[in-house]
Structure 1
């Protein structure tokens, strides 16, 4: 295999590494194999990426860029919970379509630009959850809701990747998704006059950073303390 369509050696190296990864997994992505496929010598590869970990990080960043491009291509819908649902489905679909990429994206060995790419992905989910919170749709704080979604979506995706495609039960994803969404939002969505004080506190807490107000920093901190007390009284921990 040879990838020499681009005049930019960095682009050729990334394309070669991505193709090797897709075809043979992380073990096939040796620096020697990547260099041969890209038509570059080892010194060029090390000059551009430092070492193999730097190359892996760049490939992971490339994978996250592809994932985020798909995730942000569609504008937000009218229902933030439906947006969370579509985001979950896209996440699982991306993992099943690109299993080798996915395994590297969520590996514990990420560093450098790969970590930054993962943080950008997390911010997209946080933005969706903050919108749901501002509309009074969350029963849990944004940070905790995000942790629940990320942990369960990754677990489901890795579980499905490990199953042979012929016996893969995709219903696992839908059932888990709806269970998690019910836990963090409740079903059906509460009407405004039935929102609990804890849900209203979460909504106001999420809206504060974006809404102009005349509170001083000390007054804002005090308000947040009161809001967290309301969350506690509703059985919701902001931690």
Structure 2
């Protein structure tokens, strides 16, 4: 007990709990990650989990964040000036992480479960999609592009994880990226003579920074543009 108190003073108990949960998940699967089992593996009492993480979901989020930080640090590089190349690289890293951390990936992406780790990942994706919009490369609005990429990326990883490792299609994830890219991206930045939808999406990204306009005017212009984009994206009624 004295050793635990000393570790608590040094702030090591949190790290011990995350490591214990990671080991259980890796060796025994998601069902083994219970508060009692994690506490026992870490050599502490179960209330320690609630002191540091509030509940089991908080522990899982911390575990996911820890794994992602380690993975991203190992794979990190300078930001690509080309927003499309950056998106493709991010997609590849997402797939690699999911395949390398299968139990954790499936756990934090359980339908209906909110995860701080996945929310942070979506924020990164939104930033990358916004860069595409600023470059005039989107043919759909940013929200739809983000959701399509997220859904396709998650689906690709889950599909691959459902297959035996030696039977997985090595080109599936890249083919999925190309399919989504074709659906949401233009072939080139828009010009005044090009399709009006990419121009509208691009202009919408600039509205918050337009000078001389009041907050109310910016809000109204953003509303008009969002309505126009929505109508342009909607399928035309059959003649």
Residue 97 of structure 1 is matched in structure 2 by 100
Residue 222 of structure 2 is matched in structure 1 by 224
The one-character-per-residue Cα deviations of 1:160-202 (angstroms, maximum 9, x if unpaired) are 011001100021111111010111103x324645532221110
Cα distance change, pair 122–66 in 1 and its aligned pair in 2 (3 A): farther
1:14 to 2:18 alignment: yes
Moved more, 128-137 or 47-56: 47-56
CA distance in 2, matches of 1:197, 1:131: 19
Alpha-carbon distance, 1:232 to partner: 5.0
> Does the aligned pair in 1 maintain the 2:17–2:49 contact within 8 Å?
yes
Aligned-residue RMSD, C-alpha: 2.5
CA distance in 2, matches of 1:226, 1:45: 49
CA distance in 1, matches of 2:134, 2:65: 31
What is the count of residue pairs matched by the alignment?
226
Could you tell me which runs of 5 or more consecutive residues in structure 1 were left unpaired when the two chains were aligned: none
> Does the aligned pair in 1 maintain the 2:64–2:104 contact within 8 Å?
yes
CA distance in 2, matches of 1:129, 1:84: 8
Q: Could you state the TM-score of these two structures normalised by the residue count of structure 1? A: 0.83
Residue 142 of structure 1 is matched in structure 2 by 142
CA distance in 1, matches of 2:43, 2:63: 17
> Does the aligned pair in 1 maintain the 2:91–2:153 contact within 8 Å?
yes
The one-character-per-residue Cα deviations of 1:85-136 (angstroms, maximum 9, x if unpaired) are 111111111100110110122123645xxx3332221111111111110110
Matches within 5 A, 1:1-239: 8-66=12-70, 69=73, 73-108=76-111, 110-111=113-114, 115-186=115-186, 188-190=187-189, 192=191, 194-209=193-208, 211-228=209-226, 230-231=228-229, 235-236=232-233
Alpha-carbon distance, 1:62 to partner: 3.0
CA distance in 2, matches of 1:194, 1:42: 65
The SS at the match of 2:233 is coil
Q: Could you state the TM-score of these two structures normalised by the residue count of structure 2? A: 0.83
The SS at the match of 2:77 is coil
Could you tell me which runs of 5 or more consecutive residues in structure 2 were left unpaired when the two chains were aligned: 235-239
> Does the aligned pair in 2 maintain the 1:63–1:105 contact within 8 Å?
no
